[in-house]
Amino acid sequence: MKVIAAADKNWGIGNKGKLLVSIPGDMKFFRSTTMGKTVVMGRKTLESLPGGRPLKDRDNIVLTRNAGYKCDGVKVVHSVDELKEALEETDTDDVFVIGGGAIYKELLPLCDEAYITRLDYSYEADTYFPDLDADPEWELADEGEEETYYDLIYNFCIYRRK
């Protein structure tokens, strides 16, 4: 499995249930990277999507402890073991964990690659991605050219498990 996220200088990814910033280039990268793949998210992440609806042209899986949770167009699982069962027929290279914070922390040990848009700014955040730069199990494998959105500088980075 892989993870995909946008993180600021402090590895912040969200505040009050929303992304820290919406960058068209990052949204395009997310869309092109996950299109036709399986995306795994928590219930709050699904509910934060436009209209609270699943992402089009992707298999959407929601991992939640809420036993009665249902949503059209989404496969709902309630544990990591149930998620593994749901993914048995899926190539794990085609599975992207897309958030939120608790789901990233829970599923990162099962991932071997992370697509991180690094934002060169510190936002007010209440949700964080694990700091891969400080994690000895991960290394920065590729860092794209510096991009800008107005005065915000960002890079598309790929981290790999050592």
As given in the structure block, the two tokens for residue 50 are: 């436009």
CA dihedral angle for residue 16, residue 17, residue 21, residue 22, rounded to 10 degrees? -150
What pLDDT, on a 0 to 100 scale, did the predictor assign at position 74?
A: 97
Say if CB 80 and CB 110 are below 8 A apart: yes
Grade residue 25 by pLDDT with cuts at 50, 70 and 90: very high
Domain encompassing residue 118: 2-161
Q: What pLDDT is stored for residue 131 in this prediction?
A: 98
Q: Kindly report, residue by residue over 106-161, the tens digit of the pLDDT.
A: 999 999 999 999 999 999 999 999 999 999 999 999 999 999 999 999 999 999 99
Global pTM value: 0.96
CATH code assigned at 131:
3.40.430.10
- Quote the number of domains for the chain: 1
Q: How many CB atoms lie within 10 A of CB 18?
A: 10
pLDDT of residue 56: 96
CA dist 40 and 83 (Å) reads 9
pLDDT at 158: 98
Q: How much is the pLDDT for 64?
A: 97
Range 23-32 average pLDDT? 97
pLDDT in tens, 42-92: 999 999 999 999 999 999 999 999 999 999 999 999 999 999 999 999 998
